[in-house]
Copies of this chain bind each other. A is one copy, B any other.
């Protein structure tokens, strides 16, 4: 099975055309729901006693929630504002609330997970929790600027402990102090991780493995309304696809990345989580075919 550990949030998202208040968000929400189109993931996360029943129902439609803890207090709250090009987001508020003292606990049935995705949590927490899974075939983590700036050595330790890291281009540069993304990836691989995936937003991504580079374009979209969660959806689809295939090699990882691009494209077409809900399997395979046709030459 696949376990996803990360944040569930109640977000305020300010886009040029619409402000969303109190919407369901969080890296693990996007990643696990995206993964759910391939396997049924287990979610390890915490929400507060204010977490709306309707959000709980949404999660329960896609996920196994044995690992979801509800603690007294308010759910983690993020408030961010996009510029008019949707390319830069400014954080207005980050209220950790119940996330602050959360001690994640891995349900017994999750411990046999062969696939584990660690979202952009505290790297020390990620490093600790990965040890609780004793049958891991493929583990993957993400990280964000906050941890690179504040706990860089812990980030490096976490990267050593997993099979793959997915990371934004700007964060990869910040982490490695290199400008060229190939140099960034080589440095990260030298820390002991097998696969590095650098996410470049609308420009797609780069996969690195040994001396192989696999660049892939994003699925071209004319109408993007809200980029929130695109990277998490990308990563979730990647590991969800791999978990469904049960085989991890260069070929399945490349395909997993294409699925990542596709689910990422669904997520940005609608506001908040909406683009990632109620996707039909046939919508995904149709878009995969469009993608294959689009890049052919």
In the bound complex, do residue A215 and residue B295 qualify as a contact, i.e. CB atoms below 8 Å apart? yes
Once bound together, how far apart are the Cα atoms of A146 and B218, in whole Å?
Answer: 30
User: From residue A28, how far is it (CB to closest CB) to chain B in Å?
Assistant: 27
User: From residue A54, how far is it (CB to closest CB) to chain B in Å?
Assistant: 32
Per-residue 0/1 for A214-248: is the Cβ within 8 Å of any B Cβ (1 yes, 0 no)? 11111011111000000000000000000000000
In the bound complex, do residue A182 and residue B222 qualify as a contact, i.e. CB atoms below 8 Å apart? yes
Chain B residue numbers with a CB within 8 Å of A180 are: 222-224
In the complex, the chain B residue whose C-beta lies closest to that of A207 is B297
Docked complex: A66-98 residues within 8 A CB-CB of B: 84-87
Q: Does A206 contact B (CB under 8 A)?
A: yes
Q: Pick the contact of A179: B86, B218, B221 (CB < 8 A).
A: B86
User: From residue A290, how far is it (CB to closest CB) to chain B in Å?
Assistant: 10
In the bound complex, do residue B297 and residue A254 qualify as a contact, i.e. CB atoms below 8 Å apart? yes
Chain B residue numbers with a CB within 8 Å of A84 are: 179
In the bound complex, do residue B294 and residue A215 qualify as a contact, i.e. CB atoms below 8 Å apart? yes
In the bound complex, do residue B206 and residue A203 qualify as a contact, i.e. CB atoms below 8 Å apart? no
In the bound complex, do residue B213 and residue A216 qualify as a contact, i.e. CB atoms below 8 Å apart? no
Q: Does A200 contact B (CB under 8 A)?
A: yes
Q: Pick the contact of A213: B206, B220, B254 (CB < 8 A).
A: B220
In the complex, which of the residues A200, A217, A297 has the most CB atoms of chain B within 10 Å of its own CB atom? Answer: A297
In the bound complex, do residue A294 and residue B183 qualify as a contact, i.e. CB atoms below 8 Å apart? no
A179-B217 in contact given A203-B203, A255-B297, A297-B258 (Cβ < 8 Å): no
Q: Pick the contact of A297: B204, B214, B220 (CB < 8 A).
A: B214
Q: Pick the contact of A85: B179, B186, B215, B255 (CB < 8 A).
A: B179
Once bound together, how far apart are the Cα atoms of A203 and B217, in whole Å?
Answer: 9
User: From residue A250, how far is it (CB to closest CB) to chain B in Å?
Assistant: 10
Chain B residue numbers with a CB within 8 Å of A86 are: 179
Count of chain A residues near B, Cβ 8 A: 34
Q: Pick the contact of A204: B87, B217, B223, B251 (CB < 8 A).
A: B217
In the complex, the chain B residue whose C-beta lies closest to that of A215 is B217
Once bound together, how far apart are the Cα atoms of A68 and B233, in whole Å?
Answer: 55
Chain B residue numbers with a CB within 8 Å of A222 are: 180, 182-183, 186
In the bound complex, do residue B217 and residue A216 qualify as a contact, i.e. CB atoms below 8 Å apart? yes
In the complex, the chain B residue whose C-beta lies closest to that of A206 is B220
Per-residue 0/1 for A169-211: is the Cβ within 8 Å of any B Cβ (1 yes, 0 no)? 0000000000111110010000000000000101110100000
In the bound complex, do residue B220 and residue A217 qualify as a contact, i.e. CB atoms below 8 Å apart? no
A182-B221 in contact given A200-B203, A203-B200 (Cβ < 8 Å): yes
In the bound complex, do residue A216 and residue B295 qualify as a contact, i.e. CB atoms below 8 Å apart? yes
Chain B residue numbers with a CB within 8 Å of A251 are: 297
Q: Would you list 6 pairs from A and B whose C-beta atoms are within 8 A, ordered by A residue?
A: A84-B179, A180-B223, A200-B203, A203-B204, A206-B220, A295-B295
Q: A180-B223, A204-B215, A295-B295 are in contact. List 4 more A-B contacts (CB 8 A).
A: A180-B224, A203-B203, A216-B217, A254-B297
